[in-house]
Amino acid sequence: MNEILRLLIEEQETVLQLKQKVLRDLGVPVEHQRLVYKGKTLVDDKTMNDCAMIPGSKIFLMVKKQDESSSASKSSASPRDFWATLNIFLSKHFRAEDAPRITEAFRQEYETNMATLSLDDIERIASYSQMKSAH
């Protein structure tokens, strides 16, 4: 497929935000995207400014094929999908430059809370989940 997609991207936007726009417009999952600029693969946390992009720059999208055996064995979405989806959702309700900051603050708070769970907390969560799935 040789399609041209034109997107308006601010210089402070990250590669991950660009991938989310590609997901929105083309339906290609973020984890299957590889963006290449001037022969180099772009890193998700870098901004367009970090990548030295200028107006009118062309970025190439390489779509990774989904491994059918691994996709069948996955029962749920990856954490990366969750954060990307959350960021897309927040982008609809906040300014484009605020959504990634809110997502990152939420992610850090989540990771802090997960790191401070006691074994008793984890056991209660597992018991509740097991009980819920039995019904």
Which position has the token pair 């936007």? 13
- Cα-based distances in Å from 121 to 38, 95, 112: 49, 36, 14
Q: What is the spatial distance between Cα 32 and Cα 63, in angstroms, rounded to a whole number?
A: 6
Condensed to tens digits (0 to 9), the pLDDT of residues 31-41 reads 899 999 998 99
CATH 3.10.20.90-classified regions of the chain: 1-65
Residue 1 banded pLDDT, cuts 50, 70, 90:
low
Instruction: Report, at the CATH architecture level, how domain 1-65 is classified.
Output: Roll (3.10)
Report field, pTM of the whole predicted structure over 0.85: no
Query: Quick check: 23 and 30 in contact, CB under 8 A?
Result: yes
Query: Quick check: 15 and 43 in contact, CB under 8 A?
Result: yes
Q: Where are the beta strands (DSSP E) in the chain?
A: 33-37, 40-41, 60-63
